[in-house]
Amino acid sequence: MRSSSLLLPKPPFLIPAFITHFVHHRLHFFDSLVLGQLILLCVRAVDSFVMASNEDHPHGDETVGVPITCDNWRNKQLNEAKDKIWSEIKRCFEIEENRRDHCLKLAGKLLRGFRTFLSTTFLRDTEGTFVDAELPSKYASLISPKEWETFKSKRKTQEFKSVSETNRQRASSPAYPYRKGRVGYGRLEQSILTKENSSETSLPAHVLWKEARVGKDGKIKEDVQQIFEKCETLSQSIVPYEDTDCRSILSRALDVPEYSGRVRGKGFGITQKSLNIKKQKTPSNKELQQTLEALKAEVLELRKERERDRAAGFKDTSDKDSINCNFQPTIPEGISPCHLYLARPTYRMVGKGKVHNNLGELLHTKPLPTGSLKVSVDIALEKDALLPHPDDVSDATLLGDAIGSFVAWPTDLIIVGYETPTKSKAKDKGIAREIESVASQKEIPVAKKTEISKRTGAKKKNPSKYRACLHTYLETTDISDGCVRLIPMDGAIFGFEYAEPLGKEDFDQILYHTQLSVGVINTYMRYLYDKLMGPRGLEQRFSFLNPMKTNLTEMIRKPDEVRTYVVERFMADTDREKLFFLPFNTGDGGHWLLVAINPFKEIVYYLDSLHKDWTTYPAMKTIVDTIIQTVRAQRKIQVPKRKANNITWNRVECPRQRNNIDCGYYTLRFMKETLLMDRTDIPSDYFDEYRCAYYSKDQLDEIKEELCQFIIELQVL
């Protein structure tokens, strides 16, 4: 709010003294108590709130206005005084009109501060005892004797003393004290973004709240860190399509009332309105009852319509534009899970979803095409498949673009339930399920798919689209009853072939952002192998070690088995340089970190998102060193005895996690980013392209989306 050019007001106003003070001392506009005194008590040319006669004020009408005895800054009788204050502010400074409310709220705050200043300075002695002082001469031009006496009498009352003592105790021992002095949230936020060289324009409220409570020594109190970690957990575990709480993450973590007119962790003057945070109004019992009655009436009317149509033998009712009579008696009434098929160029299943077979069902407020039903698409097995009826509302023409939305689908191509038919209901000849995907790929070449995608235009992906689909689909399976699904693991991934089981807890970790299990870690490594290493030919330069066989518990209990497994993996590729990824777990569901080993150069890269040293896990370092020495011996490489232990360990300054949950996601990103860089060496300060202080929520969500999409594509559910 600092003005670039000052317009000095004319006498006889007392504002010139304020301007002179501002110019000489180069103070920020509202940063001084003196400025608050002058702006509130010098601009007093208001007749709507006259508390004393002109005789009480030696300076006449121009000094009559907002007295220090005014305890309610929201009093409507002060509107004219506020208008005058605002006009003087604008006359002296270049300031936008939309800052008026903030400036006047701050003016009220300064008025209260000035009253406190008068009380503590002139009406109390060093021991805090009340003193019946005379009107200070330096404020005689601003405060009338009558106002001063009234002001003193209010300070003597028992009610004021009680309120004052309560406020003093509350202010003296805040639960989470602000520790940045006069540095406000705004300037603190800018300094953090500048220091981190971040392209972001703002920080999450809980991150800023925590940074504001870091002392000069850089230490964070344990209770503040606990609240911050709780915020991080909440921010990652909230499912967008299920969240109904309108409170901010910080307010939920603190679990204290959020007062109107402010946003916690954003500083004074920031309101929910200014951030466009809309509170959800909780409906009253009367409103709920009215809604319920309306729904009952609507259902009753639909049932009557259905009975009339059934009695008429489903006669044509095209004259009723608002009613869709595509109700199919062969498909269960209501909402049912279904398979979606296409008949051309071959009969094949292309997706899964839910069919809505209700009388009167509309699609985007329009009647459905004849012979079709409304379908919600949950899973697209063939993303580039053309929709039988393109969606005019969303301009979707491909099945992959319709995930999470409603489309019209021909009734004879909808199969309710999860049985896969062997023959088509259409005229085209059916093919076996085992070869349908292969046939469809032959009929629609990749080049043609790409051409179709370019012609229809790329759409921005929903950041939680695949998680929503997986969440919806899991509800229709027996996963919640304790059943598991097996993820096939090719022998080339970990050196042996097996099936990785995933159960409800594993899926919940992906959907609700909790600590990752070894099953999820292994599944993502298969994703990296299938989607990155295979297509790019990286399997010649990178490989994986199974974390189930190489965690800290196994290293301590069965060191020989761990050593044998890893040595065999290393010796399988001794003729070329290769980097082996070892997601290392401290055991019993503990912390995840990444150890990347280059046995050819005898270099170990240590990436820990907690920024600890490898000496934290001496057993791990001992095993890894022993394995490298064993491989060296089997390769018959001779080194001087004094250099036998010269194995290079490089601690990489990788992005740092901000809670006790994200370690697994960070480990997965480290592997992915190394593969994307196609480098068998990892710089000590990490890759320039991916260097950051910490991963954002979107970067972690990207891992979850990739996992969900991959699991859906595997068709193991």
pTM of the model: 0.48
Q: Is residue 178 very low, low, confident or very high in pLDDT (cuts 50, 70, 90)?
A: confident
Average pLDDT over residues 125-149: 84
Please provide the DSSP assignment of 249-283 as one string: HHHHHHTS---TT--TTS-TT--TTTTT-PPPPPP
C-alpha to C-alpha distance for 480 and 474, rounded to whole angstroms: 8
Amino acid, res. 95:
I
C-alpha to C-alpha distance for 119 and 131, rounded to whole angstroms: 9
- Predicted confidence (pLDDT) at residue 28 exceeds the cutoff of 60: no
Q: Answer whether 607's CB lies under 8 Å from 594's CB.
A: yes
Check residue 584 and give its pLDDT. 94
Lowest mean pLDDT among 168-182, 212-226, 548-562: 168-182
Q: Answer whether 654's CB lies under 8 Å from 670's CB.
A: yes
- Could you tell me which residue, 700 or 103, shows the higher pLDDT? 700
What token pair was written down for 657?
Answer: 């996690």
Q: Are strands 648-651 and 603-607 parallel, antiparallel or unpaired?
A: parallel
* Cβ neighbours for 697, distance < 8 A, ≥ 6 positions apart: 235, 236
Beta bridge partners of 414: 340
Q: Find how far residue 476's CA is from the centre of its chain.
A: 28
Name which of 675, 646, 674, 663 is nearest 700 in CA terms: 663
- Predicted confidence (pLDDT) at residue 124 exceeds the cutoff of 60: yes
Check residue 496 and give its pLDDT. 93
Q: Is residue 265 very low, low, confident or very high in pLDDT (cuts 50, 70, 90)?
A: low
Average pLDDT over residues 45-66: 40
The overall longest dimension of the chain from CA atoms, in Å, is: 107
Q: Find how far residue 452's CA is from the centre of its chain.
A: 33
Check residue 244 and give its pLDDT. 61
Name which of 88, 109, 1 is nearest 44 in CA terms: 88
C-alpha to C-alpha distance for 375 and 396, rounded to whole angstroms: 14
- State the Cα angle at 106 between 14 and 227, rounded to 5°: 155
pLDDT digits (tens, 9 = 90+) for 497-506: 999 999 999 9
Amino acid, res. 376:
S
Average pLDDT over residues 496-524: 92
367-378 residues labelled b (16+ CB within 10 A) or e (exposed)? bbeeebbbbbbb
Average pLDDT over residues 661-681: 95
Lowest mean pLDDT among 53-67, 75-89, 555-569, 690-704: 53-67
Q: Is residue 543 very low, low, confident or very high in pLDDT (cuts 50, 70, 90)?
A: very high
pLDDT digits (tens, 9 = 90+) for 601-636: 999 999 999 999 888 888 899 999 999 989 988 888
- Predicted confidence (pLDDT) at residue 61 exceeds the cutoff of 50: no
